[in-house]
Amino acid sequence: MFEILAELQPKSGGGSDGAPTVIDIAKDFSTRVFEEAQVEQQKLPLDEIMGKLADDSTRGPYQSVYIQECELINTLIGQIVNDLKDLDLAFKGELTMSAAMEDLMENIAMNKICAEWAKKSWMSTRGLGSWLDNLKQRLEMLNLWKDDPTQINRTVCFLNRLYKPNSFLTAIKQVCAQKTGQPLNKLFVQTDILKKLHWDPEIPGML
């Protein structure tokens, strides 16, 4: 019901009351993307990462999951950057404003993820602003691993910042099976709730 009410609100804005227009809101969001979140600069250098994993001995289940995550989020970043840059050119009169651009502006004004971005995104019910914050967090985690992707199994991983957390859990079982010789289908992931923050020293025995 509230979503329908939001859609019924006037889209023009501005005027004598000084309320921001749809264009103003879109420009502000674009500034957040490029200057605050800096998603374009945070894009993962896949060629560089692949070069560090060129030796088969350095590429295991964790690294395969990592590369997949990088590819997925880079695709999303490419879509966001291209769409917002085209929108900026339309604002400057260098491109014709298309129906897709108008739809993107309306979604931004309503704090919604547009359909094209949602297709390339992880599943989410967040509003657009919160979703952008989450994108920034995911990029921060993935960029922590880029300098030495062989060490992923020795770091804390936030499962809720992955596109495919089940793939990472499967990788844990695969690594355990390789180390212990146990059949993969006999292994399971046990979850223990700990009163521990991610920056605390690692507990012995944790994967």
Q: What pTM was computed for the model?
A: 0.85
For the chain, the domains span: 11-174+182-186
Torsion of CA 86, 36, 121, 83, to 10 degrees: 0
pLDDT band at 14 (very low <50, low <70, confident <90, very high): low
C-alpha 170: how far from its chain's center?
21
Within 10 Å of residue 48's Cβ, how many Cβ atoms? 11
**Could you report the per-residue pLDDT of 110-153, keeping only the tens digit for each?**
999 999 999 999 999 999 999 999 999 999 999 999 999 988 87
Q: Which pair of structure tokens corresponds to residue 161?
A: 């910042």
Checking if the pLDDT of 12 tops 60, the result is no
**Could you report the per-residue pLDDT of 171-200, keeping only the tens digit for each?**
999 999 999 999 999 999 888 887 777 667
C-alpha 171: how far from its chain's center?
20
How much of the chain exceeds pLDDT 70, in percent?
Answer: 87
Q: What is the mean pLDDT of residues 156-164?
A: 91
User: Look-up: residue for tokens 């014709």?
Assistant: 96
Nearest to 142 by CA among 123, 162, 164, 126: 162
* CA–CA dist 85, 34 (Å, integer): 10
Tell me if 144 sits within 8 A of 137, measured CB to CB. Answer: no
* CA–CA dist 199, 180 (Å, integer): 29
**pLDDT of 90:** 95
